[in-house]
A and B are shown apart, each in its own frame.
Chain A
């Protein structure tokens, strides 16, 4: 496709840099500086997609991020393989470059001939609330019939089918002044705000180049020069200032608390030469002392029958295509307007060689100097006229217009041929970010728009986004805003700019004598919401604009109703005969424009999704075939299958080895806290339920910790290394919260205590040797420590050396067997492990994982906090009342233990469950009932907390929390299974009796 509608000269395109883009398989030609939209128009292609609901042909409405209609599927890097395609890109903001592959959406079999367009003919049934009203019954149709159909029909475009292979970057930044929008107001604000070199200024604009509306403007002057010369000077000045970061292609999409503003920068989509792996987008999280919003305004469409025909555009957008992109969107233009600004479009289009007529809704007397300017240029202007409808198929071909009588009557109709239409219903300030900042809006009747009122955060709006449309006023406002943002230190610059055509007469729906029930005049183009839909919603009783929005979906598309909101609002106000402020406005929520998931996620994917914490022994485990499981952020070895073994077989072997010879287990993830200071023992007394004063140096004790509400919080072995020094262990998952819990009490309740807490979880690798042969394995490698039973009994600790490196050696057991936990500095962990493992071969040493650890501890009835307990278990509930000191006057949680409900009879208590069939393993979490024959809802008397196949017991074992459980030992109960119930007997929660030298010897 060549470029028949490209002008021979002019525009902000580089004719020396031609490029091509694939569009529905055809080749579009264009130049550097083009967007896909401008290339389509240059080729004469207005039809750019099919609408959401009715599949109506749609063209290009705008030239910016407010585009609701021309939504394309774009494959950004077709040459790099699949996965680079995403849907619903606005053609008006996709910068053209070689290699883009774009396709239109929402049609079959082709864009020009679309079967789905039958919806347009069926439209009388697709009214507002259609889905709510239709898919009510029969109920059984929901999942089988309605939902599949609705899902298939829902949405525009196709979701990507591959994981996104692109990279996305993230950047936290700080600024004294953040300016969003680099049009005349934003540039002016940046100039004054950054004049003081000590102020850090960030100026961001969503466009490819700064300038805003001035990029479309060939006629305005600033200080006697063409406006774009001023822009270029301003940008050069800002570029030269080291305190300024100028970010083009960067959209401010979210304004959050305390001047935290999120922007997304398009880093590489526009670059044909972008190296593979370069970030596609960068999320900027800016914390600004002051913010200037210079976000401009959106033009309003006019609402008349068939106002969605391809070729019908916003007036300023048509001017942008003519001036900025040197494209004539047609030969014969009709400008339909209620606003003065559209006359500039007419004049520029005429100057560019188009045939131009103007239809103005306003009476001649209501017009300003624009009217004479147009007539002087030889343009026919019909004032006081309305548009009845647009005619045409896939492209507008004519407008039917008529004069409006003084009584509102419609005069004789006239059909005006055309191939493009520029419409303007006036302007709406872009108050999205201001509103997101929680600022309150005020309705300005003079300009028929909501404008920023009271700021809640340190921000101010400047220029068109607060309803100023005259260039001189916009610039002065920008300078003043920049000055204000730095505390008024810089003096506002006087500026002289040419006068602009401003002012408009609000018109909600163009007057017409057509039957309103038979026509489609679109308010929201992207969601296919018509005047008829909104009228119906109000008629059905939806008066709140928030309800109308949800019922009709107006303003709920990805364009957030940028072009449609004021028309919808005005329409509702008109029907209800209320002033607009009484109807209110809908809430503006982030994001301002659609943001890719990639940008929000940034680098947090794959190995950077979460830290995967590995122990010093993880490498050995991986080499030796461990199957891993995540435990919090940790990756732990779950079991070590040998050739041909499944988990159950590996477990059987590992658990038997621990009880018959010796097992070796990586316990490095155990939380560890060093508690040091003169008041260490007193602190321990207050935090734990146990008493610590009598624990001698070198002794260990199993400690139980409660929350203030009396429920079990954590547990672990504590060693007293010295009078003033304890080595505390916590559960793997509990380490951070236990430290926080301790610090909380220490700092806020007992600041007088001289004791300090240091996390040493990662200082020490912990190697557990468990089993009858544990001492035999360890003995040859230990120096300065005697291992004999008398010298080193159960629940003691010694420091010395293992394999020549310093160690803290614990004689402890979580299996019931003879056991040691060898703590060595982390970097030595793997070497010590390997040494012990190799030397243990002659004793039958077997590495075991977390799964075997769980089985072994359950066999001897040890609980796991967080498995047996769920935050509502007292020490007595889990059979640990013996660990609660009776003599200490106070400890955290003590008072709660005597609250009436905590001592009430019938509490759920820890017991064992033995299934009638010894080979049946209950589900953890299974509910327990007394009588499975009782009517539903049944009374549940408890639940299973742990359940395993135990090779050492020769049967399945389970732990459960049962109402009044300890008094029910011997009773038969029933536990739920996936298919029903199974019979079990309540038993003590100890299943295995350790033989030989036990932990408790």
Chain B
């Protein structure tokens, strides 16, 4: 079971959380102006990286806040978590270091 640091509540066990997939995929401000292809990509295209992955987590059984996390998909190590709306930090990948 992962141990996840909620930016508001501190370290809590994974069972309190819900993962919401890749982060930093902003909903276009005016969807009507987006081409079908770009909209399809917004809906479905994800990076699925081996290594650092920015992803959304909801502290569902806690403070109820969504936040972002940088997790290494190889080691499962959380490099950092940060509040929604703040930019993606860019530390060196745990995997890249290894």
A contacting B, Cβ–Cβ less than 8 Å: yes
Please list the residues of chain A having a beta carbon within 8 angstroms of any beta carbon in chain B: 256-260, 285, 287, 438, 456, 708-709, 740, 743-744, 747-749, 751, 889-890, 894-896, 899-900
Chain B contact residues (Cβ within 8 angstroms of A): what range? 20 to 34
Q: Are A257 and B32 in contact (CB under 8 A)?
A: no
Q: Are B84 and A889 in contact (CB under 8 A)?
A: no
With beta carbons under 8 angstroms apart, the residue of A256, A438, A740, A896 that contacts B60 is A740
Ranked 8 nearest A-B pairs via Cβ: A895-B31, A258-B3, A747-B66, A260-B1, A749-B27, A257-B76, A257-B2, A748-B66
Closest B residue to A890 using CB positions: B31
Q: Are B36 and A743 in contact (CB under 8 A)?
A: no
| With known contacts A438-B75, A748-B66, A899-B40, A287–B31 Cβ distance under 8 A | no
Residue interface mask B1-27, A partner, CB < 8 A = 1: 111000000000100001010000011
C-alpha spacing A709/B31, complex, angstroms: 12
Q: Are A890 and B56 in contact (CB under 8 A)?
A: no
C-alpha spacing A896/B60, complex, angstroms: 28
* A residues near B47, Cβ cutoff 8 Å: none
With most chain B CB atoms within 10 A of its CB, the pick from A256, A259, A285, A740 is A740
Residue B85 lies at the interface, judged by CB distance under 8 Å to chain A: yes
**Separation in Å of the A440 CB from the closest CB of chain B?**
10
Q: Are A751 and B85 in contact (CB under 8 A)?
A: yes
A-B contact pairs, 7 of them (CB 8 A): A285-B1, A287-B13, A456-B75, A740-B58, A743-B66, A749-B26, A889-B30
Which residues from 30 to 75 on chain B have a C-beta closer than 8 Å to any C-beta of chain A? 30-32, 34, 36, 39-40, 43, 56, 58, 60, 64-66, 75
* B residues near A258, Cβ cutoff 8 Å: 1-3, 76
Closest B residue to A900 using CB positions: B36
* B residues near A899, Cβ cutoff 8 Å: 36, 39-40
With beta carbons under 8 angstroms apart, the residue of A708, A747, A890 that contacts B30 is A890
C-alpha spacing A894/B34, complex, angstroms: 12
* B residues near A747, Cβ cutoff 8 Å: 65-66, 84
Q: Are A889 and B64 in contact (CB under 8 A)?
A: no
Q: Are B58 and A890 in contact (CB under 8 A)?
A: no
Closest A residue to B78 using CB positions: A258
* B residues near A740, Cβ cutoff 8 Å: 18, 58, 60
**Separation in Å of the B56 CB from the closest CB of chain A?**
7
**Separation in Å of the A174 CB from the closest CB of chain B?**
10
Inter-chain pairs besides A256-B1, A895-B31, 19 sampled, C-beta below 8 Å: A257-B2, A257-B3, A257-B76, A258-B1, A258-B76, A260-B3, A456-B75, A708-B27, A740-B18, A740-B58, A743-B66, A744-B20, A747-B65, A747-B84, A748-B84, A890-B30, A894-B31, A894-B32, A896-B39
Q: Are A708 and B3 in contact (CB under 8 A)?
A: no
Q: Are A743 and B56 in contact (CB under 8 A)?
A: no
C-alpha spacing A744/B18, complex, angstroms: 11
C-alpha spacing A740/B43, complex, angstroms: 18
* B residues near A889, Cβ cutoff 8 Å: 30, 32
* A residues near B13, Cβ cutoff 8 Å: 260, 287
C-alpha spacing A751/B26, complex, angstroms: 13
With most chain B CB atoms within 10 A of its CB, the pick from A257, A259, A438, A895 is A895
With most chain B CB atoms within 10 A of its CB, the pick from A708, A748, A751 is A748
* A residues near B43, Cβ cutoff 8 Å: 708-709, 896
**Separation in Å of the A908 CB from the closest CB of chain B?**
20
Closest A residue to B23 using CB positions: A748
C-alpha spacing A899/B65, complex, angstroms: 32
* A residues near B58, Cβ cutoff 8 Å: 740, 743-744
C-alpha spacing A744/B64, complex, angstroms: 10
C-alpha spacing A258/B64, complex, angstroms: 23
C-alpha spacing A743/B56, complex, angstroms: 13
* B residues near A894, Cβ cutoff 8 Å: 31-32
* A residues near B26, Cβ cutoff 8 Å: 749
Closest B residue to A454 using CB positions: B98
C-alpha spacing A952/B48, complex, angstroms: 54
Q: Are A744 and B66 in contact (CB under 8 A)?
A: yes
Q: Are A287 and B39 in contact (CB under 8 A)?
A: no
* A residues near B65, Cβ cutoff 8 Å: 747
Closest A residue to B28 using CB positions: A895
Q: Are B18 and A257 in contact (CB under 8 A)?
A: no
Q: Are A257 and B66 in contact (CB under 8 A)?
A: no
* B residues near A285, Cβ cutoff 8 Å: 1
With beta carbons under 8 angstroms apart, the residue of A256, A260, A743, A895 that contacts B39 is A895
C-alpha spacing A900/B37, complex, angstroms: 10
**Separation in Å of the A545 CB from the closest CB of chain B?**
23
* A residues near B27, Cβ cutoff 8 Å: 708, 749
Closest B residue to A750 using CB positions: B27
* A residues near B30, Cβ cutoff 8 Å: 889-890
Closest A residue to B25 using CB positions: A748
**Separation in Å of the B5 CB from the closest CB of chain A?**
10
* B residues near A749, Cβ cutoff 8 Å: 26-27
C-alpha spacing A259/B3, complex, angstroms: 9
Closest B residue to A456 using CB positions: B75
Q: Are A895 and B32 in contact (CB under 8 A)?
A: yes
Which residues from 71 to 97 on chain B have a C-beta closer than 8 Å to any C-beta of chain A? 75-76, 84-85
Closest B residue to A757 using CB positions: B64
Closest A residue to B85 using CB positions: A751
